[in-house]
Amino acid sequence: MRNLRNVRCEPWSPPAQFQGRPVTSAVWDLVNDSVLCTFGPTESNSLIELVRFKNTTKPQECTLVTSWDAPCPNPELDCDRILSLHYFGDSLTACLVLAGGDIVVVREEPLPGEDRIEIVGSVDAGITAAKWSPDEELLAITTKAETVVFMSRSFEGITDVTMTAEDLKASNHVSVGWGKKETQFQGRGAKALKDPTMPEKIDEGVLSPNDDFNTTISWRGDGAYLAISTIEATARRLIRVYSREGVLDSVSEPVDGLEGALSWRPAGNLIAGIQHRDDRIDVIFFERNGLRHGEFSLRITPEQRALQEQRIRLSWNHDSTCLAVIMANSIQLWTMGNYHWYLKQEIRINRAALLPDFSLLWHPERPLQILTVASECITMFEYVFSTARDITPPPQDDGVVAVIDGQIINVTPLRTANVPPPMALHSFKVLSNAIDIAFNVGASSIAILHQEGISLLEWKEHNATSLPPALTARVTFENIGSLDTFPQQIAFDDKNELLVLLSVSGSSVIRRYGFSNDTGRMEEIPSQDHSDSAARNLSSTYRDGVSYAFVQGKSGDLHNLSFGGHDLSHCNFPTYLPWIEVLPYGDTCLAFGMSTNGHLYANSRLLVKNCTSFLVTNAHLIFTTTTHLIKFVHITDVNELEVPPDDPEKDERCRSIERGARLVTAMPSSLNLILQMPRGNLESIFPRAMVLAGIRALIDEKKYKKAFTHCRTQRVDMNLLYDHAPEQFLAHIPLFLDQVKKITYIDLFLSSIRDEDVTQSMYKETRKYLGLTSDPSAIGSITKVAPPESSFTKKSKVNKICDAFLEVLKTRTATNLQNIITANVCKLPPALEDGLHVVAQLMKDNEEMANKAVEHICFLADINKLYDNALGLYDLDLALLVAQQSQKDPREYLPFMQNLQSMTELRRRFSIDDHLGRNNKALTHLHSLDAFTELQTYTQRYELYQHALSLYRYNPERHAILMGVYAKYLQSKSQYKEAGLAFESLNNYSAATSCYISCGPAQWREALFCALSQTPPLAPETLTNLATTLAEAVTDSRDHRAAAAIHLDYLNSTEEACRSFCKGYFFPEAFHLVALKHQPELLESVIDPGLADALASSTELLAECKAQLLAQVPRIRELRAKALADPLAFYEGERGGDGELPDDVSVAASSRLSTNRSLFTRYTGRGSQGQSIGTAGTGVSRATSKNRRREERKRARGKKGSVYEEEYLVASVGRLIDRVHSVRGEVGRLVEGLVRRGMWERARAIESAMAEVTGMCKACIPEVYIIEEPVKEVDEEGLEIYRPTGGDAVLAESLEAAKRKKEPPVIESFTRLTLLGS
């Protein structure tokens, strides 16, 4: 689908000093970016002049390198002729091979002892052809003695090969007739006796009458083989293939009319030649083995074919994409796509004839830059591959693409007729071979620039059944036959005027053509000519449906050529770019361009360096890359353009494509674009970025039908229709229903809705909005966000949508009954009862609609659940209707239904709820029936005590009966506290006392209360035993205050109470009790021993803490020093190994597929690529769980010498610090008690010990927990960053606190008392 577009045409004529002397050869000089050419020798003058000219400067620079006299050593020649001119850029040396036999080397910078001009070899017999290999290491020469000579770079002979008739035996070709007519099925008995492998006509290799009897050499692109075309015994043209070592590999099969043109495709698969037939001339192809491999016919007139001087030559460009066919008066450039050969360009030669051996030179590095060499002029042409497509914005973007094939123009609107090339929807012919094509906005007019003028065609409709374009105007160039005029490009301007870029004497001239008001014909408008010697590209953009032409200069500057157009100076590129697109953006324009090396620019900003093709839509810049990805960049301000990363799995703006695919055109209205594969076939894709952008735009425009259709066909989640603009959708549900209309489509939407917000997950918006939009319909508006709902009234998204639909569908029951059922069933959870209510109502109004409704609801929901819900509505007719729609056996439900029919209303409801397992509702029905005995039994069977208690809360007598039953149930379930409360509420203090005692010491007050409240009262001994038991229990639980209270209040033992206070370090309470009871003797007998015991216990604890700190802190310091000094020894310490590297540990990061654990991933469990070690391969994933448990046990033990020791020690120090902090209050009360009893030294000792341990804890915290000192923040210049003070500091701290993540408070649920009922 790509055409060749001329972007450069620069002729060079020799200066006056060389006038009268013909150019005889030329070659590219890559080092100096110039051309070397020779003048002479001629019959009258044997002088050879080597000249360098540069076409990159104005005026063109011409320098004489050297000259020398070269008389022909061969008397058979009138004058010598240059057969090969090659320039070695690495040594600044030119090598000339002359037909007389001399091989001359010209050194521009000769070394000492070297001559500037030297004849390095000579062939006495004379030379017929010579060619250097592509790697410049071998020179192949054919001589008049029928030999092939291979010479090295130093001109040493490698081998000589003689070409003889015996070479014909090198290949024994056998044709099996593949693809021939005689091998096809022709019916029974047709040519049954004829051998299908024998063709009807066998070529004998008859010479062409136009053969020039010259020898041609062509190397393969890799230099491994070369082909030589010669005349064998003056009877047959033969192609021999030799290896690099001079070994004959194959010869060609006989071909009648084969001529001397020869060119081996650099890719290596084809050898091109010319076959002259009676009625046509073909370009034929051979394989390396000499067999034919296809052909195509040249499109030339009979007059051209009959020219006596017609000697056709062939030449491939270096990337094998273009084949040049050089004829006497023209050069044709052919390309191949989808196995069809296209004539893309024709260069007509208006000056002297081209040189026979140097007619066309392809640039070795720039694949589409050529040099045509004639005796009087050298012309440089440069082409680029470009796609001729329309520039129409949506919604008229039909994807019209035009393809040039000589005089044939193939036009296809890919949106409506995706016809694969080389076919097309419409083909039409122009007067001569086409040069360029342009479309106006809307593609209603097509302008074709061809060799003889301009053809303007009108094409109003672009659908698949439309008429082909019709010719409306024609312009014929009057002076196009002049020597220096070459048409290059064409473009539309406003008012449908045409601009043509021509090269006139090396300068660019722009001519304007338009319809004359007087004649009604298209004519040139002379007054509007533009002349710019630096113009390289002519193209058009659009704004408001009007085309505006612009031109690009050779330095990348853009100029608007339309009247009233916008200034494009701000869009200038840093250099000349062959491919450019200008897009209107707001009140300005954006220019995008790509260089030949793949650099993609937006204005002067470089975006990427690996682009292969690009195009622009209103919403996206789309380009392909050398990594076989297609990317989408949202159109925005040039400095805000964001190129997506190479992540096609996560980013919708990136997608993988086939290797070598190129962009053809994009159609945003149909959400797709067209790619052309390297072979030439087309592929239409719907990229997710374009699809989502189009759907969002349609939603903003409230075109829900189209948006829904795209979601359905492109498998986009339907939730996007709501999530993109929630409030708008809810407000326009009637519009949605009116547009979509189809009942099944509405059901599809409702059934697809879920609570997930897809705009925040799978379809997260990747566009950044800056408040500037060039086309709201294409770019889309900012997503409308619904106001946040209160956490107390938050409603499910699914239910919100379904309720909104149900509200609208209330008035559309006749047409949207099915949707009403669907909306109810699709709720979360499904509102089956609401749907069944709709069916029940229809059963009363319209039985036929009720049957349809129940059939639909049975399709949507589980039939068993529907049957249960229908029963739950207590509507037996509805339940029977649902049961009939199911697969149930009537014997399963009919007897049950008949039994229910015979019951009273309340008993029927009880039976239904009991059958459905709705026990609470069944219990309610028993309460309504006043069947208390049955209710009591039913409550015990299903443990419905709470509900039963709530039912009889206002009936004290029955409530007490149920409470007693419930209390026994709680006691049987070991829920003693609630059982005790139940018994206590029933004044059953004996059972309550037993339950409270079983609860444990925490309920000692309740137990003693119930014991004292019993009737008759407990015996004193029993009460004392109970109190003693409780006192021992609370003492064991370390609740010394409670123990002291029991001893004091219930056992009347002041001594034991004081002793309990002393055990809990409550010495002030003990002193107070002694004084209160007037028993001072207890100070020495109870309190002093208690102080001594507490002192001993505290001293022992503090000594242990101090010893632990002295042992563990230095060990932590030692372990961290070892880890820093020798990580390998530290992390592999349990292995030993004397410092040698273990075999199964890799210090370096392993490859992605390696399962070896590196030094640190052994313990971290993370691989070098971020994945878990256990998932590196299936072979190592089985033991993961077992290994983890073993490592967790090691970690918990913290064995000395293991890698977990440091973590264990740090945790141990932390626990010690917490323990020391917890005993501070106890030690303080102990010190005060010792002082009050006059034990000064003991008080000082324990206080000093506590202070010492506390100080050690404070000192070790920075070291153990590695608390770093705050570092001053400095800027790039090393100055301290300003930190606010005073009131500003408070505001700054508030802002920083607002940015930090806030941990929500943990709120535990309130446990309700089950005795109060539900």
Once rounded to an integer, what is the mean pLDDT over residues 1162-1184? 46
Report residue 472's pLDDT band, with 50, 70 and 90 as the boundaries: very high
Are 256 and 300 within 8 A, CB to CB? no
Cα separation, 695 vs 717, in Å, equals 11
Helix, strand, coil percent values for the chain (each to nearest 5): 35, 25, 40
User: Which range is least confidently modeled, 571-585, 1008-1022, 1258-1272?
Assistant: 1258-1272
* Range with lowest mean pLDDT among 114-123, 600-609, 769-778, 1186-1195: 769-778
Structure token pair of residue 428: 């039409």
What type of residue is 1102? L
Of 451-455, 509-513, 785-789, 1168-1172, the least confident? 1168-1172
Q: What are 1121-1161's pLDDT values in tens digits?
A: 888 888 877 766 544 444 444 444 433 333 333 334 444 44
Report DSSP letters for 1070-1123, one per residue: HHHHHHHTT-TTHIIIIIHHHHHHHHHHHHHHHHHHHHHHHHHHHHHHHHHHHH
1246 touches 1227 (CB < 8 A): yes
Q: Which of 201-210, 371-380, 818-827 is predicted least confidently? A: 201-210
pLDDT of residue 781 exceeding 70 = no
Tell me what pLDDT residue 1189 has.
82
Q: 421 with 337: CB under 8 angstroms? A: yes
Return the amino acid letter for 133.
Answer: S
Cβ-contact 524, 548 below 8 angstroms:
no
Q: With contact defined as beta carbons under 8 Å apart, do 14 and 39 qualify? A: yes
pLDDT of residue 60: 78
Query: What tokens were used for 258?
Result: 């084969």
- Which range (621-630, 779-788, 1139-1148) has the least confidence? 1139-1148
Taking residue 20's Cβ as centre, other Cβ atoms within 10 Å add up to 12
Lowest mean pLDDT among 935-949, 1242-1256, 1291-1305: 1291-1305
pLDDT for res 1285:
74
pLDDT at residue 892, rounded to an integer: 80
Residue 1164 has pLDDT above 80, yes or no: no
Residues 6+ apart with CB under 8 A from 1084: none
- 8 A C-beta contact, residue 866 and residue 858: yes
Q: Which helix (H) or strand (E) holds 285?
A: strand 281-286
| Residue-averaged pLDDT of the chain | 86
Q: Which of 278, 277, 234, 270 is nearest to 252 (CA)?
A: 270
Predicted local distance difference test score (pLDDT) of residue 773:
42
Q: Check residue 479 and report its DSSP letter.
A: S
Q: Give one DSSP letter per residue of 808-856, joined into a string.
A: HHGGGHHHHHHHHHHHHHTSSS--HHHHHHHHHHHHHH-HHHHHHHHHH
Nearest to 290 by CA among 168, 373, 394, 386: 168
pLDDT at 176: 58
Segment 51-74 mean pLDDT? 86
Question: Among all chains, which residue has been given the structure tokens 């055990």?
Answer: 1063
Report the distance separating Cα 888 and Cα 883, nearest Å: 7
Task: Identify the pLDDT of residue 195.
Answer: 56
**Six token digits for residue 330:** 């023209």
Reported as half-sphere exposure (CB side, CA atoms, 13 A), residue 574 has a value of 10
- In angstroms, how far is CA 334 from the centroid of its own chain? 37
Number of Cβ within 10 Å of residue 38's Cβ equals 25
Give the pLDDT confidence score for residue 1147 in this predicted structure. 39
How far apart CA 269 and CA 264 sit, in angstroms, is 8
pLDDT tens digit sequence for 177-200: 555 555 555 665 555 555 555 556
For residue 1140, what pLDDT is reported? 44
Specify the pLDDT at position 132.
96
Residue 764 and residue 650: Cα distance in Å, rounded?
A: 11
Q: Is 1194 exposed, middle or buried (0-12, 13-18, 19+ CB in 10 A)?
A: middle
Selected residue with higher pLDDT from 307 and 1035: 1035
The helix/strand/coil state of 724 is coil
Instruction: Report the pLDDT value the prediction gives residue 533, as an integer from 0 to 100.
Output: 56
Phi, psi of 574 (to 5 degrees): -70, -20
Q: Look at residue 1143 in the predicted model and tell me its pLDDT.
A: 42
Angle at 202 between CA 198 and CA 208, to 5 degrees: 165
pLDDT for 1258-1278, tens place per residue?
999 988 887 665 555 655 555
CA distance 305 to 1143: 79
Query: Tens digits of per-residue pLDDT, 1198-1237?
Result: 788 788 888 889 999 999 999 999 999 999 999 999 999 9
Average pLDDT over residues 146-170: 91
Residue 809 has pLDDT above 90, yes or no: yes
* Rounded average pLDDT over 914-931: 92
Of residues 778 and 294, which shows the higher confidence score? Answer: 294
**Cβ–Cβ contacts within 10 Å for residue 215, how many?**
21
User: In 496-649, where do the E strands start and end?
Assistant: 498-504, 507-515, 522-524, 530-531, 535-543, 546-553, 558-560, 579-585, 588-594, 600-602, 605-608, 611-616, 620-625, 629-634
- Percentage of the residues of the chain whose pLDDT score is greater than 90: 54
Mind giving me the DSSP string for 322-379?
-EEEE-SSEEEEEEEETTEEEEEEEEE--SSPBPSSSSEEE-SSSTTEEEEEBSS-EE
Task: Name residues whose C-beta falls within 8 Å of residue 822's C-beta, 6 or more positions apart in sequence.
Answer: 746, 747, 750, 751, 856, 860
Three-state SS for 115? Answer: coil
| DSSP state at residue 1274 | B
823: closest CA among 843, 808, 803? 803
End-to-end C-alpha distance for the chain, whole angstroms: 77
Using the predicted structure, report yes or no on whether residue 508 has a pLDDT greater than 60. yes
Confidence of residue 175 (pLDDT cuts 50, 70, 90): low
Reported confidence tier of residue 1178, pLDDT bands at 50, 70, 90:
very low
The per-residue pLDDT for range 326-361, each reduced to its tens digit, is 998 899 999 999 999 999 999 988 777 888 888 999
549 has pLDDT over 50: yes
Residue among 1127, 1150, 1157 nearest 1139 (CA) = 1127
Please give the Cα distance from 547 to 468 (Å, whole number). Answer: 23
Q: Which of 63-67, 283-287, 687-691, 1193-1197 has the lowest mean pLDDT?
A: 1193-1197
Please choose, from the candidates 146, 150, 319, 152, the residue with its C-alpha nearest in 3D space to the C-alpha of residue 243: 150
**Confidence check: pLDDT of 1026 > 50:** yes
